[in-house]
Amino acid sequence: MLNKLNLNHSIIFLIFCLVLVSLDYFRLNTLLYTCLFLVITIGISHGSLDNLKGKKLLQLYNINNMAYFYLGYVFLSLFVIIFWLFFPSLLLILFLIIASYHFGKEDSEFLCISKGLFFDILFFLKGSIVISAPLIFQKSKTLEIFDTIGMNTELIIFSSDLLVIIFVLLSILSSFIIVSSVRNLYALVLVLDLMAILVLNYFLQPLLAFTLYFCFLHSIRHSISLMYELDKNLTKSIPIFFKKSLPLTLLTGVLFVIIFILLMSEYDVSNSINKVVFIGLAALTLPHITLEYILEKKAEI
């Protein structure tokens, strides 16, 4: 059931992407405010059940006070922001590495792929297409975004076209290796996803391409898996998911808007939105991934 849902989702997403890139309006505009709105609603909602996962984690340690979870979550987020203020390039490189692995793993894990170092490397390479594709198709505009968030764009990983091309080819290869290892019709989802990501980044502005991928592919796929965990009957699980995810989604969205307004007093709209989206997501990604990792390791014991 879940595999079929994800296959249908990928087909619809690819068609959606092909329709968008056929329209001049989307090819010629970044749609900054639209990107911000999508990220703070659909984008961050896929992590809005982390409080339920946090409760589950605390129960494993016989802790009933949720304050410990919220304090730890906020601490990790603040740590990322403070680290970025002092070491922006280092933080952002680490974020790109972690995000690549996260995207590759979460977009594929519904296939019940074997675990181990080899597949972890494949997940990283597969997910790196989200970063390498805009660098090969929209390099100057992508580097402009990196520059606004404090990245040293003269690093060899960004300045070398050959290195970027190698990453793109390795990412494509890793997707096909995963597909061949699963030997399941539903693994073709990964090929459809790859095509959609390449299409988006070839035709659209980098921020818009990333936003569409992050919100309508990555976030929705993760949300579908969360709904499936709540109740295998999606008719019942969808309203449950929205009800449970709404509080943290609203809270995080409001914080993003407040930070955006504050940044607007110092920077222009584009610069402010780039900082809110990418630094904000970096700050949320560390606690989100840490929580997922600990729960996964606990489940293996």
Annotated binding-site residue? 218 = yes
Q: Look up tokens 């970044």; give the residue.
A: 30
Note if the pTM is more than 0.85: yes
- Who wins on pLDDT, 156 or 218? 218
Q: Is the dihedral of CA 285, 291, 296, 297 positive or negative?
A: positive
pLDDT in tens, 139-172: 999 999 999 999 888 877 777 889 999 999 999 9
Rounded distance between C-alpha atoms, residue 256 and residue 92, angstroms: 19
pLDDT in tens, 46-66: 888 898 888 988 988 888 899
Amino acid at 277: V
Residue 285's nearest CA partner among 146, 100, 158, 111 is 100
Annotated binding-site residue? 102 = yes
